[in-house]
Structure 1
Amino acid sequence: MGDPTYSPPDPAELPEPVTPAGREGLAALLAHPERAVVALDFDGTLAPIVPDPEQARAHPDAVPALAALAPRVRSVAVVTGRPAGVAVRYGGFAGVPGLDRLVVLGHYGAERWDAVTGTVRAAAPHPGVAAVRAELPGFLDAIGAWRGTWIEEKGRAVAVHTRRAQDPEAAFEALREPLAELADRHGLIVEPGRLVLELRPPGMDKGVALAAYLREVGAESVLYAGDDLGDLPAFGAVEKLRSDGVAGLLVCSGSAEVKELAGRADLVVDGPPGVVRLLSSIAAQLA
């Protein structure tokens, strides 16, 4: 449930992208919303980052903002490394009026939840994930990295968090190479994030998932918002699509922890509250 005092912002509050390509992307979305896809990361974009990932929940006004915007565009897609069902549950997306065209691409596109059916479709899991899952606790203990680290079970991937360590950044950097070697032995790759290293199968990332979905629905413009290193492939996909004639707006959900996206973004907003305000402003502009 959103804040009962919440009301959509004045359309005049719509921020202006700082780049010509971003301004073109926003203009295309506003001119022909029925041809546009709004795609968003979950953690750090729709949901604030919290010490325990299992406690992450969408910003209280995220669902009202999405429900106001979704009927006016071709589709809204949540693109996340989380299992699709988990993102749906933590986001509160199921059964919401106005979100019948919402799609969640989970595990970087290996899973897909469609609001219209309420079901998840998934590819077969990679055997290396089960092997790493079994080996990882002893592996961290053997290299002296158990204290302060935390393993997150993600179904088709497994992640090691360092946010609770005495020196989170130092622990993160110290684990990069050992975890990369462990992942490689089992045919996996390591995806770095905000004080987290995720071991997952190769061949899928947010850019691949996003590009495939945009082709599927025939989008002519796209807004993509993200906050983390894992969103760089999606940024790259939108940049490539721009050269192919698809208008795009890249939004960085700002963070002091990850600055790489801001330099490539057309628009930087103040974390999930800023993303919610942007979505609400676009919906108000289209009303």
Structure 2
Amino acid sequence: MQRVVQFFLGLTRPMRDADGMACFTVRTTAGRIALNEILLNIRRTILLVDLDGSFWHPVRWPRRPLVLCQIPRLFSRLGRRRLFMMAYLTGRASEQLRSFGMLVRGVVAWCQFGAERWQDGQQVDLVPVPAGLEQANSELDGLPYSVERKTHAVATHWTADDDKKAVELLLDRHKSLADQHLLAYHPGNLVVELSPLGMSKKVSAACFARQFLPPEVMEGFVGEFSPVEQEVYEQIWASLEASGTTFVPSLQSPYFIYVGDSAPDMGVFLLLDYLRGLGIPVLKVAVKGYQPLEDLADIVVDGPAGALQFVRELELHTAPWWLRCLRRSFGHAA
């Protein structure tokens, strides 16, 4: 009887604003305004997410993450039926994502910090493999850590239980290799990565956003790039154009959401702050654990479970009214 009463009470709840989302707190006024705008214009919303550390816990052996089977289904559903676009911006290689089922219909994957792009079964390399990567790889042989070798990058993983001084030495070694072989150095959540010089999530996210905005909108942000970042930015954009990627610069008032958890995601948050300053509604979601990112966030969620719950709630608000009521009354399994 209680379930029946909850169902009919659910019929009276329109859930058209952020107050209907009870799984988190919007900490900023700008974030609350943006979320309400997003919920009213969900078909023009672009959800860009990090993966490792954001939707599953980092692991020492990168080929064995605990990816809940509901995650790719949820993301595919959002990309195909609910949002304007669902996309990843991740350090993972596309082949790795394929191996545990994350390359699904309706999702665009920007992999290896944006060095490669996957959509609808088609992969495009956006930048060349850095010349110093092979030598850096060889100098990481024999480490007592998990070394993840990819086409455009190499990442070394450890766990929270590893000796902190040993990890500091490991980070110093990678910084030295990056300087020596002209590679970019990216310390993250229990991982450190070396990638093409000038490549970062900040640069890739700028290229990603440029697909949906007039070129002049991005000029102020890109104008602050270093010369090498500017070169990579233009290189990625030229590769996108050459690949025949479809751009949507005429998308009327796009809305952006980003979910991230660690230092490499700071650049994306800075981009969203820039877009917010131009009057574009954006929402920054941080997974608890990295304080500088939390300080910039509109929403802070508790671990991968919190990030998944946020996306579930977002999908709940995009569903038809009758399905929203069923799910609200009987749980998200409906």
Range class of TM-score, shorter chain: 0.7 to 0.9
Distance 2:304 2:158 in 1: 22
Report the 3-state secondary structure (helix = DSSP H, G, I; strand = E; otherwise coil) of the residue aligned with 1:273: helix
Match of 1:5 in 2: none
Equivalent residue pairs, number? 261
Select which of 148, 158, 163 maps to 1:162.
158
- Range with bigger deviation, 33-42 or 45-54: 45-54
What TM-score, normalized by structure 1, do the two folds share?
Answer: 0.83
Q: Which amino acid aligns with 2:296?
A: R
Q: Give a deviation string over 1:208-258, Cα, whole Å, max 9, x none.
A: 212211220346211100111111111111111111222111111223xx3
Q: Per the alignment, do residues 248 and 221 of structure 1 end up closer, same or farther by CA in structure 2, a change over 3 Å counting?
A: same
C-alpha distance in structure 1 between counterparts of 2:304 and 2:149, whole Å = 24
Contact 2:63 2:96 in 1 (8 A): no
Q: Which amino acid aligns with 2:314?
A: I
Partner residue, 2:256: 222
Change (3 A) 1:188 1:17: same
- The yes-or-no answer on 1:278 pairing with 2:310 is yes
Q: String of CA shifts for 1:17-66, please: whole Å, max 9, x gaps.
A: 11012112212211212221000001011222223111014333212322
Q: Which one has the largest radius of gyration?
A: 2
SS of the residue corresponding to residue 291 of structure 2 reads coil
2:145 is matched with which residue? Answer: 149
**Corresponding position of 2:92:** 82
SS in 2 for 1:77: strand
The alpha-carbon deviation at position 77 of structure 1 amounts to 0.8
Cα distance between partner residues in 1 of 2:85 and 2:198: 25
Q: 2:21 matched to which residue of 1?
A: 13
Confirm or deny that 1:121 pairs with 2:130: no
Aligned identity (percent) is: 30
Paired with 2:176 and 2:60, the residues of 1 have a C-alpha distance of 26
Q: Deviations over 1:130-174 (max 9, x none)?
A: 12112222xxx6xxxx3x32321122111222328741x222212
What is the alpha-carbon distance in structure 2 between the residues aligned to residue 24 and residue 207 of structure 1?
Answer: 24
Aligned to 1:249: 283
Whether the aligned pair in 1 keeps the contact of 2:58 and 2:190 (CA below 8 Å) is no
Root mean square deviation of aligned Cα: 2.2
Tell whether 2:150 aligns with 1:134: no
1:189 pairs with 2:184: yes
Q: Does structure 2 conserve the Cα–Cα contact (< 8 Å) formed by 1:40 and 1:225?
A: yes
Asked whether the equivalents of residues 184 and 198 of structure 2 are also in contact (C-alpha less than 8 Å), the reply is no
Flag the 1:236–1:59 CA change in 2: closer, same or farther, 3 A. farther
**CA contact 2:145–2:157 (8 Å) conserved in 1:** yes
Q: Which deviates the most, 213-222 or 268-277?
A: 213-222
Task: Give the CA deviation at 1:107.
Answer: 1.1
Question: Could you say what secondary structure the match of 1:252 adopts?
Answer: strand
4+ residue runs over 6 A deviation: none
The partner residue of 1:110 within 98, 106, 115 is 115
Q: In 2, Cα distance between the equivalents of 1:166 and 1:250?
A: 31
Q: Which of 23, 26, 50 is residue 41 of structure 1 equivalent to?
A: 50
Separation in 2 of the partners of 1:172 and 1:241? 36
- 8 Å CA contact retained: 2:128, 2:152: no
2: CA distance, partners of 1:43 / 1:252? 13
